[in-house]
Amino acid sequence: MAFDAKKVKDDVVEWIRNWFDENGKGCLAIVGISGGKDSSVVAALCVEALGKDRVMGVLMPNGIQADINMAQELVDYLQIKHVVVNIESAYEALYGTIEKAIGTLSEQTQINMPARIRMVTLYGVSQSNNGRVANTCNLSEDWVGYATRYGDGAGDFSPLSQLTVTEVKAIGRVLGLPDLLVDKVPIDGLCGKTDEDNLGFTYDTLDQYIRLGVCPDEMIKAKIDEMHTRNRFKLELMPCFEYNG
């Protein structure tokens, strides 16, 4: 069945509206704005669902962010209120404190720490502004664990988690977002590489495999399967001891 971007967009807008009616009537939607397609689409969906006065963007550069102008362009385009919180000093302070306590931090720790600081920042803004934090992850990222647990993988509501990158882009176009935001080459914002460089395959390849089960390259198929299995825990509830006393 062909993907009906207009219908799905309308369904997501209704879902967001209903979710806020039940879980945050009158609250703001707090969206971390990177300038990429996911945060752009989530912010635009929230504007359509709630009105621009109930959406707040949070820009969180870590020092100097080369593409911060894209995030600014989005909030200007949507005409939503926004704040800029530079996390550099918080990152350096926390990094230095942990390094002093345990010695050298692993590369993965250094990559994931900014994402977790950004989520702390979002909740700080949210709880001080009667808000609810949007998760901006999509199905393609979640499928292979391309999200930081308790970082960008967290949030209060998740509009895109059942939609692939290809589908998110289609919704972005239906929403009328500028092409440069929808088609911006996704960069993780942490280590400076593109998502596809880090993954070792394209989102088109991944999306075809997720939706159709088709992947002509057996090595890539095996890699996707391995990543999916290894990272599935990120989407599951924390395991807990079952007491049956």
What digits encode the pLDDT tens for the residues 174-231? 999 999 999 987 765 555 678 888 899 999 999 999 999 999 999 999 999 999 999 9
Residue 85 lies in a domain: yes
What digits encode the pLDDT tens for the residues 45-93? 999 999 999 999 999 999 998 889 999 999 999 999 999 999 999 999 9
Question: What confidence score (pLDDT) does residue 128 get?
Answer: 98
Q: How many whole angstroms separate alpha carbon 205 and alpha carbon 219?
A: 12
What CATH number does the domain containing 174 carry? 3.40.50.620
Torsion from C-alpha of 105, 111, 114, 115, nearest 10 degrees: -130
Question: What confidence score (pLDDT) does residue 190 get?
Answer: 56
How many domains, in total, are found in the chain?
1
Question: What confidence score (pLDDT) does residue 195 get?
Answer: 83
Residue 188 identity (one-letter amino acid): D
Q: Do the Cβ atoms of 150 and 116 come closer than 8 Å?
A: yes
Residue 206 lies in a domain: yes
Q: How many whole angstroms separate alpha carbon 193 and alpha carbon 184?
A: 13
What digits encode the pLDDT tens for the residues 4-22? 999 999 999 999 999 999 9
Residue 240 lies in a domain: no
Residue 212 lies in a domain: yes
Instruction: Domain of residue 228: give its range.
Output: 5-235
Q: What pTM value is reported for the model?
A: 0.95
CA distances from 93 to 98, 160, 178 (A): 9, 33, 37
| Side-chain half-sphere CA neighbours of 212 within 13 A | 11
Q: Which two tokens stand for residue 84?
A: 């800029």
Residue 245 lies in a domain: no
Residue 79 lies in a domain: yes
Residue 242 lies in a domain: no
Residue 174 lies in a domain: yes
Q: How many whole angstroms separate alpha carbon 52 and alpha carbon 56?
A: 8
